[in-house]
Structure 1
C-alpha cells in the first residue's frame, strides 16, 4: 500500500520517509522555541543586552509570513538607523566635533550591516531548486556570521580608540553637543535593537537577533560617550576612555554567546529543549511504543526534522493513522517547523 504525501501549505514541499509500515508527515509549529539562559557574568550581561521576552510564544508557523516579517524588520530598523545618523550629522555640523563625525560614520556603517541580512531574507523566499534542495534559508546564517564579525570589529575599534585616548589624552571639545549626540545614538540604536530582537525571536532568526545585539552594543557605546562627557564636566578627563574600555570588555564577553548561537546554527545545532519537546509529543501518541530517534536542524529561521518511532501496529492503515496523529501532536509543540518526516517501523524489526 502506498501512502500519498500531503502538500505543504507553505512552499509545496513534500517529506518522504522510508518505511516498513509507513512513514512520513508534515508539521507546522505553534509553540515557542526552547531556550536556556547563561549564568555568571555573561548571564548578567545577557540579561542587560538581551532581556528575556515572551514574544516567541506567538511564533509564526507560516514560512512566507516569517520571511515577510524579517524583511519588514530589516527595512524599518534600517530607516531608524539612517534617521539617527542624519540627526547626529546635523549635530556634527553645529559642533564641528571630529569625534562626533567619526561616531556618525560608525553608525552609518552599522546601519548598512542590515543590507546583507535583507538580501538573505529575500533569498530565503526563493523556491528550492534541484541544486539547493532545502532552499536558500542558509544565506541567513551566513549573514549572521558577517554580523558577528561586525560586533567583534566594534569591540576592537572601541578598545583601540579608548587606549589611544589614554596614551595620548586630548581635550574633549563641545562637550554638550557630544553628550547630545551620544543620547541620540543610544536611543536610535536601542529602538532598533528592541525591534530586531523581538522580531528575530518571533520568527526564530538567530541572525536577526544577533543584528539586534549588534545595535544594542553600539547603543551602549554611545551611552559610554555620554558617561565620559559627564565625567569630563565633573573634572575627570579619563572618564571617557575608561568607560570606553569597560564597554569594549562587555561587548567581548557578550560576543562569546553570540558566536555560539550563530555558529551552532551553521553546524546544524538545535536547542536540546526542542528535541525533548518533540520526543515527549511523540511519546504521548497512543500506539507508539518507543521513540528511537529525533533529528532536527535550523535552516535559517525554519526548522526541519525527522523521527524514527516503533509500534505494535500490524497494518499499513494503522501505521498511516499513527503517523498522522504523531504529526498533529508534534505540530502543536514545535515552533517554526516546516516539515518533519516520521518513519514508523514495527517493534522488533
Structure 2
C-alpha cells in the first residue's frame, strides 16, 4: 500500500527534526480562519464572523456530503419562503422596486442548485478517467458563487448611481421597509446556517454561498435604511447606503476570492500542515519529518509525507508507515488519504 525505501542520499525538502520530550494539547483540534487585517478585516468580520469550529468535526466523508446537501436543502426552502412572503407584500403594495428585489432574491436562492449538484457529484466513486473522484466540482461551484457575489456588487452599485443621477420617488414606503426586513432576516438565517455547516465540514464553497446570502441580506437592510431616510426627509439616503453596501461587498469579495482561489490552486492553511506534523511527532521511531503535503479536494483532505528513521527492516518500515497514516487520520479525521514513505537508514549504519 505504501512505497518504502532505504536511502542514504535523500534530499531534504525541509529540515524538520522533532524532539519527543515535549507535550501538546491534543484535545483541541480546531484551526482558525484568519481574518484579513485592517480595513478589510473590519468589514470581513461583519459579514463572516470568526469561528473556532473545526473543519474536521465530521470524520466520515459520506456523512459530511450528506450534511452539506441537507444544509443546501434547508437553506433553499428558507430562501424560497422568504421570496414568497416578499411576493405577497408586492401584491399588496404594487411596488415595482419590491418586485425587482423579490425576483433578485429568487435568483440568488437558486445559486444553491449548482453547489447541490457538486455535492451530489462528490458522492460518486472514482473512475479510471477521474481517478481522484469528483470532489473538485465543489470548488468549481465555489467559483460560480464568487462570480455571483461580484455581480451583486456591480448591480448594487449601478442601481445606486442610477438613483443618484435620476432620483425617483419611493412609493409605499411602509411596505418597502417591511419587505426589506423580511429579506434581511431570511438571508441572514440562511447565511448563518450555511457558514456554520461549511466550517464544520470544511467546505469553502458552502461558506462562500453563505457569504453570498449575507451580502444579499445587507442589501435588503440597505432598502430599510433608505426607506427610513425617505420618511425622515432625506431621499438620497437610499442610493448613498446602496453605494456603501456595494463597497462592503467588494471588500468582502477579495477575501472570498482568496479562499476559493486557494482551494483551486491546492493551497492549504499552514496550521493544518502544523497539525499533521504534530500528529507524526507522536511516533517515537521517527527521527525527522522530511516533507508533509496536504491539499483540499472539495471539503476533504488528501496528502503525503516523507519520514526519516533509524535503521529498520522493510517490514518495520511498512508497519511504521501504516502507523503514521493512522496517527494523522486520528488527529485530522477529515483526511481521506495520507500516503507515507519511510526513508530508513540501512542496518549497521
Hey, what does 1:18 align to over in structure 2? 3
CA contact (8 A) 2:55 2:334 kept: no
The C-alpha deviation readout for 1:122-145, integer Å capped at 9, x for no partner, is 000000000001100000000000
Give the aligned partner of residue 266 of structure 1. Answer: 264
Structure 1, unmatched stretches of 5+, are 1-15, 23-29
C-alpha separation in 1, matches of 2:149 and 2:345: 51
Matched with 1:139 is: 137
Aligned pair partner of 1:115 in 113, 119, 124: 113
How far residue 324 of structure 1 moved from its aligned partner, in angstroms, is 2.9
Is the aligned partner of 1:91 residue 2:89?
yes
The SS at the match of 2:54 is helix
The answer as to whether partners of 1:35 and 1:273 remain within 8 angstroms in 2 is no
Who is 1:194 aligned against? 192
Q: CA offsets per residue over residues 163-215 of structure 1, 9 Å max, x none? A: 00000001110000000000000000000000000001111100000000000
- 1:119 and 1:57 map into 2 onto residues whose CA distance is 21
Task: State the shift of 1:45 in Å.
Answer: 1.3
Gaps of 5+ in 2: 8-27
- Partner of 2:337, secondary structure, is strand
| Separation (CA, whole Å) in 1 of partners of 2:41 and 2:226 | 26
DSSP 3-state at the match of 2:145 = helix
Aligned partner of residue 296 in structure 2, secondary structure: strand
Task: Tell me how far apart the structure 1 counterparts of residues 30 and 339 of structure 2 sit (CA, whole Å).
Answer: 21
The structure-2 alpha-carbon separation of the partners of 1:347 and 1:45, relative to structure 1 and needing over 3 Å to count, comes to farther
- Is the contact between residue 2 and residue 318 of structure 2 (CA under 8 Å) also seen in structure 1? no
The residue number in structure 2 matching 1:154 is 152
Q: Distance in 2 between matches of 1:94 and 1:242?
A: 27
Q: CA, structure 1 residues 339+57, in 2 after alignment: closer, same or farther (shift >3 Å)?
A: closer
**Kept in 2: contact 1:91–1:177 (CA 8 A):** yes
Q: Distance in 2 between matches of 1:98 and 1:269?
A: 45
Equivalent pairs, count: 327
Among 309, 312, 319, the alignment partner of 1:311 is 309
What is the aligned partner in structure 1 of residue 209 from structure 2? 211
Distance across 2 between alignment mates of 1:57 and 1:200: 8
Normalising by structure 1, report the TM-score: 0.90
| 2:25 is the alignment partner of 1:40 | no
Write the mapping of 1:337-348 to structure 2, written as runs, cut at 5 A.
337-347=335-345
Whole-angstrom CA distance in 2 between matches of 1:59 and 1:313: 38
Query: What is the deviation of 1:335?
Result: 4.6
Asked if the contact 1:294–1:308 (Cα under 8 Å) also holds between the matched residues in 2, the reply is yes
Cα separation, partners in 2 of 1:260 and 1:335, compared to 1, 3 Å = farther
Secondary structure in 2 matching 1:18: coil
Aligned Cα RMSD in Å?
Answer: 1.7
Match of residue 13 from structure 1: none
Q: Secondary structure at the match of 2:190?
A: helix
Check whether the contact 1:287–1:313 (CA below 8 A) recurs between aligned residues: no
1:101 aligns with 2:99: yes
Q: CA deviation at 1:280?
A: 2.2
**Aligned partner (choices 210, 230, 234) of residue 232 of structure 2:** 234
CA separation in 1, counterparts of 2:311 and 2:320? 9
1:237 counterpart SS class: coil
Distance (whole Å) between structure 1 residues aligned to residue 329 and residue 6 of structure 2: 22
- Which SS does the other structure have where 1:38 is aligned? coil
Using the TM superposition, give the Cα deviation of residue 58 of structure 1 relative to its aligned residue in structure 2, in angstroms: 6.2
> 1:47 offset after TM fit, Å?
1.3
Q: Is the 8 A contact 1:31 1:335 kept in 2?
A: no
Partner of 2:65: 67
1:37 partner SS:
coil
TM-score (norm 2): 0.90
Match of residue 163 from structure 1 = 161
